[in-house]
Structure 1
Amino acid sequence: MRTEEPLEARLRAVEDRLAIYNLLATHPLSADTGERSLIDRIYTEDFTFDRGANLDGARGRDKMVALVERDAHRAAIAGGLAHFGNLPLVEIDGDTATATSYLALITPDVGGETRELPNHGSSKGFRIHRVLANRWSLERDANGWRIASRTVLPMDGQGPALAMLREVGQSLGA
């Protein structure tokens, strides 16, 4: 954003960025609750979800709903699954945008040693199950910003996730 741009354009860019931040912040809520109303609100109807070569994804919002309504995902939710994301890097181009972020899948450590934290009770703690790199494609329609596609790949120090992140860095001139 350049300061020589008109105030209206700068304000629109700030509003778009905040709307995208809020949109992407809704994703963990939709995944950790499986609520269809959240999924319907944040994804385009033809949304594509790519989880890499080893996990199935989804093509279409209804398939995304089916993915989070599966018994296996419901079991993960019941086990305390928490999607924990970071503030994304957002690139806006008119009515489209891309965002890059990380996501940690955190679960209660049922085998952990119980520990007391003063003034916060006791817990066996949590464990990070996986850390993932995300690349989001977003579109603005009459109802605002929605997620059109998402690629999520495991951070394993090599392979597709690292290639995806390097591509983002190169596009930024890094």
Structure 2
Amino acid sequence: MNSPNLPDLETRLRTIEDKLAIYELIASHPPSADTGHANYTLSVYREDGVFDRGPTLDGAKGARDIAAFIQRPEHDDAIRGGLAHFAGLPLIDLRGDVATVTSYLMIVHLDHEGEPRELPNHGVSTGYRIHRAVVNRWELERHDGRWMIAKRTLLPVDGSANHQDLLRKGLNDLHLA
């Protein structure tokens, strides 16, 4: 028998399934960006989706324009140069058919100018360089049984109040749920 304060098993299972689907959606971003898989990006953004990259980088509106980011020749150059998007574990605030996700992302690339170093059993490498660390706020909606990105806001971790406010908002949303 369920305690009056515990949701029923079906509700709890639905929450677990939703969070797993959201984890998979957020975890798919680095491999899709690092392979230039524009069709995948197109499939996970709402048609009217928004990609806000903050005040210093260009953004996009609409799934096609968002997918076009990873079709740019410059992005292909970055991929061929050893680009890697490295994501942190996301914080999920789930409320029915909408969710907000707060996460970190590092953009890392092969350091072609680094000094070659050998690591036993792992070969020689010039190392990698962290190009940028950012905070993401993903606003998701469930449509036809699957989670899709309605808006993604990306801000650099630069010591400003902007990125800290984005992080606080993620914590506050979760705490107020």
TM-score range, shorter chain: over 0.9
Mapped to 2, the partners of 1:134 and 1:13 lie a distance apart of 22
Q: RMSD value over aligned CA atoms?
A: 1.6
Hey, what does 1:132 align to over in structure 2? Answer: 134
Hey, what does 1:112 align to over in structure 2? Answer: 114
Secondary structure in structure 1 of the residue aligned to 2:76? helix
Deviation at 1:172, TM superposition (A): 3.9
Aligned counterpart for 2:52 among listed residues 42, 50, 57: 50
Secondary structure in structure 2 of the residue aligned to 1:139? strand
Hey, what does 2:169 align to over in structure 1? Answer: 167
Say if 1:26 and 1:42, in contact at 8 Å, map to a contact too.
no
In the alignment, residue 73 of structure 1 is paired with which amino acid?
Answer: H
In the alignment, residue 164 of structure 1 is paired with which amino acid?
Answer: L
Hey, what does 2:30 align to over in structure 1? Answer: 28
Secondary structure in structure 2 of the residue aligned to 1:112? coil
Aligned pairs for 1:81-92 within 5 A? 81-92=83-94
Aligned counterpart for 1:122 among listed residues 100, 124, 140: 124
- TM-score relative to the length of structure 1: 0.93
Deviations 1:73-122 (A, max 9, x none): 11111111110001100011111100000000000011111111111111
Mapped to 1, the partners of 2:77 and 2:142 lie a distance apart of 34
Runs of 4+ in 1 over 6 A off after TM superposition: none
Secondary structure in structure 2 of the residue aligned to 1:137? strand
Unmatched 5+ residue regions in structure 1?
Answer: none
CA distance 1:29–1:162, shift in 2 (3 Å):
same
Hey, what does 1:66 align to over in structure 2? Answer: 68
Mapped to 1, the partners of 2:175 and 2:141 lie a distance apart of 24
Say if 1:50 and 1:57, in contact at 8 Å, map to a contact too.
yes
Unmatched 5+ residue regions in structure 2?
Answer: none
Deviations 1:3-30 (A, max 9, x none): 7110000000000000000000111112
Structure 1 stretch displaced more, 126-135 or 72-81: 72-81
Mapped to 2, the partners of 1:6 and 1:105 lie a distance apart of 41
